[in-house]
């Protein structure tokens, strides 16, 4: 099956809605302007060609096309929201990894000898691999929980 193109479908929908509105307005203007026998003849012609059924069918088709456009637009919007959220989580994970690396590199600086115990002194006592593995595991667990919760909400 061919991929649904929202932009071309919306253009078709717009043209169809404009044509339908124009046709109904012209029909109403023409019908109001008729009098006497002309009105009766025109009403008979309308019934013979089932004009009102044709207009109803066009309105139904227009409604179906609008629903299809709305569904495709919602799918596109959901994909864009997930992509944006994933990008933000990825940037946050990179920042956390960068922070851990800076905490471990800070005690190794020559000018850092303030003799005040703190986080960087604790980082000197913990192996870097262990800390990085814990941080990466926490990021993966957060991403899995976040992914599971967002699927439940949609």
- The DSSP secondary structure of the chain, one letter per residue, reads -PPP-HHHHHHHHHHHHHHHHHHHHHHHHHHHH--HHHHHHHHHHHHHHTHHHHHHHHHHHHHHHHHHHHHHHHHHHHHHHHHHHHHHHHHHHHHHHHHHHHHHHGGGSTT-------HHHHHHHS-HHHHHHHHHHHHHHHHHHHHHHHHHH-
Q: Are 138 and 100 in contact (CB under 8 A)?
A: no
Under the banding of pLDDT at 50, 70 and 90, the label for residue 47 is very high
The token duo for 28 is 């109403």
- C-alpha 124/C-alpha 136 separation (Å) is 19
- Cα–Cα distance measured from residue 76 to residue 6, given in angstroms and rounded to the nearest whole number: 9
- The dihedral region occupied by 36, where left means phi > 0, alpha psi between -120 and 50, and beta the remainder, is left
pLDDT band for position 115 (cuts 50, 70, 90): low
Question: Quick check: 32 pLDDT over 70?
Answer: yes
Give yes or no for a contact between 135 and 99, defined as CB atoms under 8 angstroms apart: no
Residue 1 has what pLDDT?
44
| H or E element in which residue 153 lies | helix 128-153
- pTM of whole model > 0.85? no
The pLDDT tens digits of the residues spanning 8-31 come to 888 888 888 999 999 999 999 999
CA 107 vs CA 52, 102, 135, 144: distances in Å: 83, 9, 19, 33
């Amino acid at each position: 099956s061919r991929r649904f193109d929202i932009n071309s479908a919306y253009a078709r929908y717009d043209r169809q809605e404009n044509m339908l509105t124009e046709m109904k307005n012209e029909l109403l203007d023409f019908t109001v302007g008729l009098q006497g026998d002309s009105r009766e003849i025109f009403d008979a012609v309308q019934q013979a060609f089932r004009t009102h059924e044709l207009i109803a069918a066009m309105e139904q088709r227009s409604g179906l096309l609008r629903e299809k456009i709305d569904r495709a637009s919602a799918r596109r919007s959901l994909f864009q929201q997930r992509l944006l959220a994933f990008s933000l989580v990825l940037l946050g994970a990179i920042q956390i990894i960068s922070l851990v690396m800076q905490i471990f590199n800070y005690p190794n600086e020559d000018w850092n000898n303030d003799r005040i115990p703190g986080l960087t002194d604790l980082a000197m006592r913990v192996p870097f691999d262990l800390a990085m593995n814990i941080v990466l595991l926490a990021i993966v667990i957060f991403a899995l929980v976040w992914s599971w919760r967002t699927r439940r909400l949609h």
